[in-house]
């Protein structure tokens, strides 16, 4: 009787070990980490009309990853719109990359809440994955050379004094200035 019980437990252990190995080997790869000072990853994504766009070159860019189903993302959009209205004429580009699976969800949202800056669609998540994004919203401030100067996790008030100071500084630097500077205020949030 004890031998049967021992064999039963051994069989259960083998089954759970097999399941564990199967799950472990099918997990997606860990996201990459993009940090201050790293070079941005170029991409091409469609806008809502299906026109393909790449990451702008030689521009100061706020690259934001978000979703229509994300309440913090929705709360952040008005301050990004204000930032865009303040700095678009000075050359700031804001690109909001939606990771919504269904294009129609994004189109419906945009009809209800027009966004003044560029919105692109990353339906399969490949671009957000290439930036290591898995918490929403996540944003990257890129200098004119495509270097990440800020990585911000979570909703941010883009009109706060530290952010305005950082963006003013980035826009004031000429395009020919040396690469790799890690200036700006670290506003990275965890969570």
Q: Of the ranges 25-34, 38-47, 179-188, which is most confident? A: 38-47
> How far is residue 156's CA from residue 189's CA, in Å, rounded to a whole number?
9
- Residue 190 CA: distances (Å) to CA of 66, 76, 175, 186, 187: 16, 16, 31, 12, 10
Whole-prediction pTM: 0.76
Give the pLDDT confidence of 91-129 residue by residue, as tens digits.
999 999 999 999 999 999 999 888 999 999 999 999 999
Mean pLDDT value across residues 54-77: 95
Give the pLDDT confidence of 47-60 residue by residue, as tens digits.
999 999 999 999 99
Q: End-to-end CA distance of the chain: give it in Å, rounded.
A: 52
Whether residue 81 is predicted with pLDDT greater than 90 in this model: the reply is yes
- Tokens 């099918």 label which residue? 26
3-state secondary structure of 153: strand
> What mean pLDDT is reported for the chain?
85
* pLDDT number for residue 28: 54
Stronger pLDDT, 59 or 8, i.e. the higher one: 59
């Amino acid at each position: 009787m004890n031998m049967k019980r021992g064999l039963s437990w051994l069989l259960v252990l083998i089954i759970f070990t097999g399941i564990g190995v199967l799950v472990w080997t099918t997990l997606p790869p860990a996201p990459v980490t993009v940090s201050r000072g790293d070079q941005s990853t170029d991409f091409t994504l469609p806008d809502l009309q299906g026109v393909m766009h790449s990451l702008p070159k030689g521009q100061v860019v706020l690259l934001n990853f978000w979703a229509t189903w994300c309440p913090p993302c929705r709360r952040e959009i008005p301050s990004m719109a204000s930032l865009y209205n303040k700095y678009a004429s000075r050359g700031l580009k804001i690109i909001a990359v939606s990771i919504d699976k269904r294009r129609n969800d994004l189109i419906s949202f945009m009809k209800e809440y027009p966004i003044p800056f560029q919105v692109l669609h990353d339906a399969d998540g490949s671009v957000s994955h290439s930036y290591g994004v898995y918490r929403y919203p996540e944003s990257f401030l890129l200098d004119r050379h495509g270097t990440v100067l800020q990585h911000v996790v979570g909703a941010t008030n883009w009109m706060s004094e530290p952010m305005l100071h950082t963006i003013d500084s980035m826009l004031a630097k000429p395009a020919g200035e040396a690469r790799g500077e890690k200036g700006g205020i670290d506003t990275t949030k965890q969570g």
